[in-house]
Structure 1
Amino acid sequence: MDLVHRALLLLHLLAVIVWVGGMVFAHFFLRPAAQSLEPPLRVQLMQGVLQRFLGAVGGAVAVVLASGVWMIGRAARQAAQAGGSFSMPLGWAAMAVLGLVMAAIFGHIRFALFPRLRRAVAAADWPAGGKALAGIRRWVAVNLVLGSLTVAVAVLS
């Protein structure tokens, strides 16, 4: 493995840590602690945290996808240059599919559910904010399962 490949793999892994680790923190630590707050404070706190987190995850998603495509493309180019054919390993294919599904779910959270939360906070509509947070929580839980499965595939394949 050359230095460029190692650097991209490092960026890939750091981005995965931000994304999956952030979901673990939000789902298992922040959300339960915030439950003790009154709805207006809880919804405003979660909106502020998610605003920052979703921005960071947007960057992480871009890094994960770009570095993953680059590493797969590099392996395919090397196989072609050596006169062989490239057959993507099953583990890589699984990681790619899971990563794309996770990115789509992130897009749904960021561009459909989070704007509902922002509108609810702006209108001081705490029940609507709670409903938006419940939807975000459900999809974060799905993405957390998929992210954990992806990490398992990476380690075990």
Structure 2
Amino acid sequence: MRRGAVRSVVVAGLLVLAGAGAGPAGAWAGPEADVSYHGRVALQRGQLRVWMVPQNEGPSALANATVRVRLSADLADAQEPAAGCARAGEREVVCETGPLPEHGRGRHIGLVLGLRERPAEVAVRIDTWWNGGAADRNHGNDEHVVLALDTGDAYAF
């Protein structure tokens, strides 16, 4: 796992949230991009699988971004996060997307998350936590809520 890379993305995200990059009177001085996520989730016997591909519709390329996956159930104590991902709380995981070219896709992100208990359903919230310092005016395609039932069936977003 590249903990240093994830840590740098998390720190950069905090700087963006604190207002770095904002110009006079709150005007945004950075690039503009339209980040989105497409994938599926499946829940079976206390294990949640999340597979997604980040995408950027432009108009600017991004060197990196961070996607956040939040759950309605607690994660098990022992987790083996995928490369570029880190646990960020009892119910939260963040992953770097890698480079997002203008009008292109990022790396595939696959998570296998153990849950503390075996819930009948889990609400999975997927959103952009840090977008590489870009303005994104269309959050309709990067904020998803998916209800996964404990059937093993895949639910698309």
Do Structure 1 and Structure 2 share a fold, with TM-score over 0.5?
Answer: no
**Bigger CA radius of gyration:** 1
Q: Which has the higher strand share?
A: 2
TM-score with structure 1 setting the length: 0.29
Q: Which has the higher helix share?
A: 1
TM-score with structure 2 setting the length: 0.29
